[in-house]
Structure 1
Amino acid sequence: MSESAEGAEETNLSRYVVGIDLGTTNCAVSFVDTTQDPWQVESLRVPQWVDLRQWERRDTLPSFHYEWTVEEAAGDAPRLPWQESSPASCVGLFARDAGGRHPGRQASSAKSWLSHDGVDRTADLLPWHGEAGVQRLSPVDVSAAYLKHLREAWDYEHPDALLADQDVVITLPASFDEVARELTVQAAKQAGLPRVYLIEEPQAAFYAWIDSQGEAWQDAVTPGQLILVCDIGGGTTDLTLIRVRAAGGGQVQFHRVAVGKHLILGGDNLDLAIAKYAESKWQADQPETKLTPSQWERLVQASRVVKETMLATERPEEYTINLPAEGARLVGGAIQISLTAAEVDQTLLDGFFPAVELNTRPEAGQSGFQEFGLPYASDPGITRHLAAFLSDHRRSGMGDDTEAADRPDLVLFNGGVMGAPAIGQRIVDSLTRWFADESDWKPTVLDNQRLDLAVSRGAAYYGMVRRGQGIRIAANLGRSYYMQVSDHPPTGLCLIPGSAEAGERFVADTHPLEMQIGTPVQFPLWVSSTRLADDVGEVIPMQSGEATPLPPICTALVQKRRRKETTLRVLVEAELSEIGTVGLHCVDPVSGQRWKLDFDIRSTLETDRTAHQGGGEAAGIVDSETVSQCEEQIASVFASDWKGDSQPPSRLVKALQSILEQPRAAWPPSLLRSFWQTLFDEQAGRRVSPQHESRWLNLLGYCLRPGYGVAVDDWRVAQTWRVIHNKLAFPAASSSIESAILWRRIAGGLTPAQQEQLVLPLNAMLRGKGVRMPTNEALENWRLVGSLERLDIQTKIEWGRLALQMSKNKKHAKLHEAMIWTIGRLGSRQLTYGPLNTTVPRDEVARWVEQLTARKADCSSLPLALVQLSLPTGDRFRDLAEHDRDAVVAWLRGAGASEHYCSLVRDGGRLETDDEAAVFGETLPLGIRLVRS
């Protein structure tokens, strides 16, 4: 059943309604002054730096963040009129242009990073390839910086109507996932905008078209028509279908019926393609020479200008890119690359908008663009994505209307890329070829003036629609949400139907659920953009191709702050908020008590990216009777009243292997996590003796390794941290050693803050200062340091340099193997679980490799460490230079290493299972693999 949250009249309405286009390449602000009659949408010209110490008002604010150099900030420090002091950075036009000179000081594409589910989007990772000393910011921080600038610019122009007090509508891609939407709201709050609404960009673009037409829009549309909104911006491609339906009194209504998949594919990709082509053309004449990473960044910056120039209606026949010389060749070393109009057309038009058939599907695989660390769409062919979208959705929303069109009669283009007439014509030609049959049909292109302002203008118009004025698009959700309630095959309980609109609340009361109190509960969440007719409460098979997984939702149900182990019958309540985010609660229908269900974001960002499809759950289940025998064995060993004549802790593993009739390496993750729970419940038994504690710690870490891969592992790791960190029962060396092993084993589930806490007390001891650490303990702590991949880059560099220095000293000979292993982990080009933003820079690692290849093969761990340090990834900012990799290959061959190692360093690839075990430190549980960045 549904319950509408609409109807509550708003009071104290603000004077202004403001729309903000938070774009990948440009931001814009439009507004309505509601005191005007008739009201109209206007645009704010945004004050910003256009040159050093020169500011002007411009229609848009380029989405670039730049940290001033010392020279730029010297003297009369630059500050805008509303700034009391000079900030260390700026955003806007100057930030965009200065980045061409100093790319390592510029952060860009924050919006694409905000939707990147392969990194921690709240981590300080921009500029992605920043210069040393430049402050790193998270995608949320950079987005907040743009919004803060827009807020301050607005307040400067409207001191009596501050932006924080107005109705503000922010735009985002229709395909943004729930996490990206939440983070957009977070960025707004961080920028001082506590009250915002969200609207999807294609809808905003269509609202802008309605507004621009005045009353004439009614002459352009008729009931039954299907409208395609094709929005290709700087970072994303968004596809939306809107149906025109008849309403009473001869009027029409607009219904948004389909939204495409999230595609990080846009103007940034076109820039990269031009840069790739230009580089290959230049290298054809000098194959032995390669661009440096900084030259490459400048080339990408220049390629944006090439794109804009060569796709314009009036364009030259040729464009020459000039790159300054670097290093010793400052005189006479500049690079010039000339591109013809035909070459640009072939690269961009044929590469991104090829002529394909309607039944064509995008190709799977990995994108060829790795330099920016973003998960670009694997297939750059936008027309292939368009063909798949229309094939899947062109009949959506037709119902029983036999007059409804199944081809897009009208097309509305939006986004910076669509400013190029040649691209728009390619798309029109494709649609005509797909649907014209033998007639002379072709779609009508709706005129949307000022593509750079359309989205912000449409957002402001939508703000008035929310107040009951203007023409409304009946924009139902267009996606159905399901909570998985059973496995094999997975089935889902429909929580939110595709017909939902913002503000509606739903209760799945046809299928009450039984929840365990006092322990974490977790349900995977699924979303479908094709199953739009399912009703709330229906149980539906989650068939491949019809639904895709989202981060799971999880909580720990606790009553009155006490752990109460019982079950409770609950209902699931779901709400699509006014700002477009999904909220879920478990509700006790008797008491009315509610528990918030949160997206388990970390399971998607940092650990097992598909927690409910992980191999860990599928690796095998042991029958309950056998599990009970094992749990009884564990409980007997760790009983708080354990007697000396009972089974000693040292024989526990052998006893468990005997019961299970299989070695512990074959224990499946489901069994391991069950043992973890039993050990955790029996934690009092670790205090019986030092032997009990060391065995308890050893087995607990073994059962939870690698800290991810099974549902709710984040909760298990958090609980482990709570009861063990700095809380060992005995000062014995065995407890210290086993705790270090435990943290190494589950490091993949530890947060950056927890990893920092682990390494701080080791600083002095591992350097041989202060209290001397016994060799066995030092060995395990060195390995612990190497396993902490979420440490910040500078900390990794310091530990890597220390390991290099100490591993040359014969006094530390017993620790050399552990130190070399640690160097390989710290400087690895492909992290086993950590986010890309913690990768040690390649220049630093090149120095490590130079020192290591100067050594004899005196450590068995050295060949694998060198492979980790030099394995190519396809990202020129991570990969070592070719001559460095050649040196590694020569060393490996001289040391008699396997040809497989040489091949990995030369050509790239995956480590074998035994090598992955060596990298991790031991075997992984069945079905769980290292999650490589």
Structure 2
Amino acid sequence: IGIDLGTTNSAVGYVDLGAPAGEHGLPPVRFFNIPQLVAPGEVAPRPILPSFLYLPGPYDLPAGATALPWNADQPDVIGEFAREQGVRVPGRLVASAKSWLSHAGVDRTAAILPWGAPDGVAQISPVDASTAYLAHIRAASNAQMAGDRVEEMFERQLVILTVPASFDEVARELTVTAATRAGIPHAVLLEEPLAAFYAWLARHEADWDTLLEDGQIVLVCDIGGGTTDFTIVGVATEGGRLKLNRWAVGDHLLLGGDNMDLALGRQVETRLMGQPGKLEPDRWVQLVYQCRKAKETLLGATGQEAVDITVMGSGGGLIAGTRKTQLTSTDVEELLLDGFFPAVAHDAQPSTERRSGLTELGLPYAQDPAITRHLAAFWRRFGELLSQETGRATPFQDYILFNGGALTPEQLRRRLRTIVGQWFQAEAGPNWQLPELSNPRPELAVAIGAAYYGLVRMGMGVRIGSGSPRAYYIGIQQEAPDEETIAAVCLVPRGVQEGFDVRLNAPIFDALANQPVTFQVYTSTTRTSDQLGDVVSLQPDEVSVLPPIRTVLRFGRKGVATRIPVQLAVRLTETGTLEIYCDSRKSEHRWPLQFDVRSEQEVAEEEAGEEGVSAAQVAAAQAIILATFDGQVTSDNPPEQVRKRLEAALDMSKETWPATVIRQLGDTLLATRDTRAATFHHETFWLNLLGFCLRPGFGDPADELRMKQVWGLYLNGLRFPQKVQSRTEWWIFWRRVGAGLATGKQLQIYEQTLPSLQSGSERKSSKSNRFHLGTAEEVEVWMMLANLERLPGQAKVELGRRLLRRRDGQLASKELWALSR
């Protein structure tokens, strides 16, 4: 089964291994017409599943409108009707989930879609949306094709799931995660441009080696709804026979048919409203939808010259505010050809000038919409590699294979062929025209090719050699010749095959255990000679930076920070993802290293200001803590002055201390826990500062270890429990860090604290009353309990009822805060 999980549309192809062989001796690839809602309560099969998810409100649709034959209680809408209903209510429509899956600027596992949803709309993550599409395909297939036959269930088949060739490792891992959550645990990843080429091979299996010749180059140009992908496939003679090899892939370009629709929308909006940006979000989405339909009509084979565009008024001006215009085929061709496919020279460079209109709907679209400039830069980048592979001084494309719904119009394909032909007329001849390999179904070719690739994996058909198009490196601490150069070790050489599984015997590393560490991984598509274990110097312009790996290598029972000798291990899995491990050389420990999927903004905020805090400043601040809480009482280090002295040492106010700095200070404070309480003043200031540095008890890789140390404080209690100020700071401390405690520990605090919240008569009769609260500190206890989010629902109900009984519900502001929690 081949699944094209597209940005705008998804499709499914399959091969029935029990079917009679076709004309090439293999069973044919067929399409699965996917059942989906096409109207309220109406299900029909369609060759594509629009990649849209609609989240109905309580009164959007009539009862039963979202029911499916295999799930009468289906709450959401997926597919054609989701797309149509989303035009009416845009704030509830999830779109472009695949683009969000590759967006490093957000936490791709967080509930952020629909982007900018109004209050009251429950959002989901990009991973959840992808899971929903795959789960729909799986359930529809099982209901329609498998029935009660367990062996024919979707999840028991060989499933090939396609991704853009330019997807980074995090996006690939998250795609596999989505498939697993959808009940497809063993899906194999295949790059979409390769799938398109496999679709061509499926039609030309008997004669491909007569159509192509040794040394020739095929450019695959794949422009879908959300992404543009370039891939180079080469033809070479190996062992006396022609072989196909994937030689190069391009960078990730968030640029496709969606951008064309947005650009048309801005043009029409300016015509209707006098300037862009005047339409409200709902009317803007409706306009873009009309522009997409108009584009498909005007560039299609109908010959239609114009399409009416109508934007309804809003509010009381529904009719009076309605605006109308026409979009002509000339309008569309001029905007697309001049804006997205302009005639450029072969040495053109993509513009880096920021264009606000191309960051529509929160996505970081490519700054330069000119696909031809991106193609020129891609070809130049791999010129030297292609010369080595072909022996040609100035290699050029011998064929081009177009794919993706955006390239369905013949006008756009002809434009690209003409421009590329002009680049190489000196080498290929003045009348040379770049030949096109036929692709009659560009919207379905990826699904066809993915299913055919399933046959290839079973030993049938024609395989394209497709080792890793990238080399992978891990950054190391080593002297570099200049600030720009990156010292790194090659983990995965370019060109290795899936299943590559090695442990680096050299170089030998020391790793820091039991403390937060960060590993930085880089990739390069152009460095071809680096070998496994090579220590190399990388230049910023020849590598891409993957999200960092942030972790704690836990070693030993005591959790003491130490150095341990390790060796790195790496595996390129059969499913198409990268796994990296750190293996201890002195024990059996193996630590998996996983990429951080948080947003770049979150990480940037966490690290904000760190460049302004030197290691010497942090060391000075730590020295102040050690001197203040060393168990001695001296006039040189009064606890009342510790905050001001720390602010002076770090040269910034407490509220602006970076997260990593406060965690370092928190570790120093924890190291003084046995000597913290020379006086009750020392203890109160120590608790206040530690709570500030460890709040909210989670979020840093080492917080789990820290919370284990903190729990010992709770078990041992205060050194000065008779002092009201100490008790008050105690509850404030647990309010700040309590959210990081495990459920059992939160429950223990709740059970031991609850008797203290009883009425006076109840307190006298209670033998389990551990704490005797003063009036002022009781409010702090309520706020602390309100932050124990892992308490069972029944416990929260009990707390809420007790709180409402206080003073007949006449609660103070802090008590109201606790009740809302």
TM-score by length of 1: 0.72
Report the secondary structure of 1:396's partner residue.
helix
- The whole-number CA distance in structure 1 between the counterparts of 2:2 and 2:189 is 10
Of 391, 402, 416, the residue aligned with 2:380 is 391
1:48: how far off?
A: 1.6
1:743: how far off?
A: 9.6
* Residue of structure 2 in register with 1:125 after alignment: 112
Report the secondary structure of 1:35's partner residue.
coil
> Relative to structure 1, is the Cα distance of residues 276 and 705 closer, same or farther in structure 2, using a 3 angstrom cutoff?
farther
Kept in 2, the 8 Å contact 1:694–1:734? The answer is yes
* Residue of structure 2 in register with 1:800 after alignment: none
Structure 1, unmatched stretches of 5+, are 1-17, 762-769, 786-810, 820-933
Report the secondary structure of 1:714's partner residue.
coil
Report the secondary structure of 2:554's partner residue.
coil
- The whole-number CA distance in structure 1 between the counterparts of 2:411 and 2:425 is 20
Of 28, 31, 38, the residue aligned with 1:40 is 28
- The whole-number CA distance in structure 2 between the counterparts of 1:221 and 1:515 is 51
Of 192, 197, 201, the residue aligned with 2:188 is 197
- The whole-number CA distance in structure 1 between the counterparts of 2:52 and 2:125 is 13
- The whole-number CA distance in structure 2 between the counterparts of 1:668 and 1:152 is 47
1:389: how far off?
A: 0.8
- The whole-number CA distance in structure 2 between the counterparts of 1:772 and 1:243 is 80
Kept in 1, the 8 Å contact 2:66–2:77? The answer is no
- After TM superposition, list the pairs within 5 Å mapping 1:569-718 onto structure 2: 569-602=565-598, 604-605=599-600, 607-609=602-604, 618-619=611-612, 621-622=614-615, 631-639=622-630, 641-643=631-633, 647-652=637-642, 674-696=664-686, 699=689, 714-715=700-701
1:485: how far off?
A: 0.4
* Residue of structure 1 in register with 2:291 after alignment: 303
1:69: how far off?
A: 5.9
Out of 357-366 and 470-479, give the one that drifted further: 357-366
2:97 pairs with 1:110: yes
- The whole-number CA distance in structure 1 between the counterparts of 2:221 and 2:196 is 10
Kept in 2, the 8 Å contact 1:700–1:742? The answer is no
Q: Which structure would you say has the larger Rg?
A: 2
- 1:203 alignment partner AA: L
Question: CA deviation digits over 1:316-358, x for unaligned, max 9?
Answer: 2222112233210133332212222222222222111111122
Out of 424-433 and 131-140, give the one that drifted further: 131-140
Report the secondary structure of 2:183's partner residue.
coil
- The whole-number CA distance in structure 2 between the counterparts of 1:350 and 1:740 is 63
> Relative to structure 1, is the Cα distance of residues 685 and 530 closer, same or farther in structure 2, using a 3 angstrom cutoff?
farther
- The whole-number CA distance in structure 2 between the counterparts of 1:481 and 1:733 is 56
Report the secondary structure of 2:247's partner residue.
strand
1:546: how far off?
A: 0.9
2:43 pairs with 1:55: yes
- 1:268 alignment partner AA: D
- The whole-number CA distance in structure 2 between the counterparts of 1:705 and 1:392 is 48
> Relative to structure 1, is the Cα distance of residues 531 and 772 closer, same or farther in structure 2, using a 3 angstrom cutoff?
farther
1:685: how far off?
A: 3.9
- 1:715 alignment partner AA: P
TM-score by length of 2: 0.81
- The whole-number CA distance in structure 1 between the counterparts of 2:709 and 2:166 is 41
> Relative to structure 1, is the Cα distance of residues 479 and 662 closer, same or farther in structure 2, using a 3 angstrom cutoff?
same
Question: CA deviation digits over 1:672-718, x for unaligned, max 9?
Answer: 7654432232244445555334533565577789999xxxx823566
- The whole-number CA distance in structure 2 between the counterparts of 1:289 and 1:538 is 52
1:371: how far off?
A: 3.7
Question: CA deviation digits over 1:181-238, x for unaligned, max 9?
Answer: 1111111122111221111101111111110123121222111112111111111111
Question: CA deviation digits over 1:401-440, x for unaligned, max 9?
Answer: 5248622211111111010112112211221121222632
Report the secondary structure of 1:426's partner residue.
helix
Out of 495-504 and 68-77, give the one that drifted further: 68-77
* Residue of structure 2 in register with 1:259 after alignment: 249
> Relative to structure 1, is the Cα distance of residues 669 and 101 closer, same or farther in structure 2, using a 3 angstrom cutoff?
closer
> Relative to structure 1, is the Cα distance of residues 631 and 65 closer, same or farther in structure 2, using a 3 angstrom cutoff?
closer
Of 290, 293, 299, the residue aligned with 2:278 is 290
Kept in 2, the 8 Å contact 1:120–1:606? The answer is no
Of 527, 531, 547, the residue aligned with 2:527 is 531
* Residue of structure 2 in register with 1:246 after alignment: 237
1:24: how far off?
A: 0.9
1:620: how far off?
A: 6.1
> Relative to structure 1, is the Cα distance of residues 599 and 689 closer, same or farther in structure 2, using a 3 angstrom cutoff?
farther
- 1:336 alignment partner AA: K
2:4 pairs with 1:21: yes
2:142 pairs with 1:155: yes
Report the secondary structure of 1:486's partner residue.
coil
Kept in 2, the 8 Å contact 1:100–1:302? The answer is no
Kept in 2, the 8 Å contact 1:30–1:41? The answer is yes
> Relative to structure 1, is the Cα distance of residues 610 and 105 closer, same or farther in structure 2, using a 3 angstrom cutoff?
closer
Of 68, 71, 77, the residue aligned with 1:90 is 77
- 1:421 alignment partner AA: E
* Residue of structure 2 in register with 1:340 after alignment: 328
- The whole-number CA distance in structure 1 between the counterparts of 2:448 and 2:172 is 20
> Relative to structure 1, is the Cα distance of residues 560 and 408 closer, same or farther in structure 2, using a 3 angstrom cutoff?
same
- The whole-number CA distance in structure 1 between the counterparts of 2:277 and 2:524 is 49
1:543: how far off?
A: 1.1
- The whole-number CA distance in structure 1 between the counterparts of 2:5 and 2:647 is 58
> Relative to structure 1, is the Cα distance of residues 400 and 122 closer, same or farther in structure 2, using a 3 angstrom cutoff?
closer
- The whole-number CA distance in structure 2 between the counterparts of 1:88 and 1:319 is 36
1:558: how far off?
A: 2.5
- 1:422 alignment partner AA: Q
Kept in 2, the 8 Å contact 1:495–1:506? The answer is no
Question: CA deviation digits over 1:499-519, x for unaligned, max 9?
Answer: 122110132222110123322
* Residue of structure 2 in register with 1:486 after alignment: 477
> Relative to structure 1, is the Cα distance of residues 480 and 346 closer, same or farther in structure 2, using a 3 angstrom cutoff?
same
> Relative to structure 1, is the Cα distance of residues 568 and 453 closer, same or farther in structure 2, using a 3 angstrom cutoff?
same
> Relative to structure 1, is the Cα distance of residues 706 and 261 closer, same or farther in structure 2, using a 3 angstrom cutoff?
farther
Question: CA deviation digits over 1:473-529, x for unaligned, max 9?
Answer: 111111111111026443111111111221101322221101233223322111112
- The whole-number CA distance in structure 2 between the counterparts of 1:23 and 1:236 is 9
- 2:602 alignment partner AA: T
Of 332, 340, 344, the residue aligned with 1:352 is 340
2:207 pairs with 1:216: yes
Question: CA deviation digits over 1:816-839, x for unaligned, max 9?
Answer: xxx9xxxxxxxxxxxxxxxxxxxx
Kept in 2, the 8 Å contact 1:493–1:538? The answer is yes
Report the secondary structure of 2:134's partner residue.
helix
- The whole-number CA distance in structure 2 between the counterparts of 1:404 and 1:338 is 50
- 2:372 alignment partner AA: T
Kept in 2, the 8 Å contact 1:31–1:460? The answer is yes
Kept in 1, the 8 Å contact 2:265–2:287? The answer is yes
Kept in 1, the 8 Å contact 2:510–2:566? The answer is yes
> Relative to structure 1, is the Cα distance of residues 514 and 267 closer, same or farther in structure 2, using a 3 angstrom cutoff?
same
2:513 pairs with 1:496: no
- The whole-number CA distance in structure 2 between the counterparts of 1:722 and 1:299 is 56
Kept in 2, the 8 Å contact 1:504–1:576? The answer is yes
Kept in 2, the 8 Å contact 1:52–1:72? The answer is no
Q: How many residues align?
A: 739
- 2:122 alignment partner AA: Q
> Relative to structure 1, is the Cα distance of residues 718 and 423 closer, same or farther in structure 2, using a 3 angstrom cutoff?
farther
2:543 pairs with 1:547: yes
Report the secondary structure of 1:399's partner residue.
helix
* Residue of structure 2 in register with 1:330 after alignment: 318
* Residue of structure 1 in register with 2:167 after alignment: 176
- The whole-number CA distance in structure 1 between the counterparts of 2:128 and 2:507 is 42
> Relative to structure 1, is the Cα distance of residues 177 and 707 closer, same or farther in structure 2, using a 3 angstrom cutoff?
farther
- The whole-number CA distance in structure 1 between the counterparts of 2:676 and 2:161 is 54
* Residue of structure 1 in register with 2:434 after alignment: 443
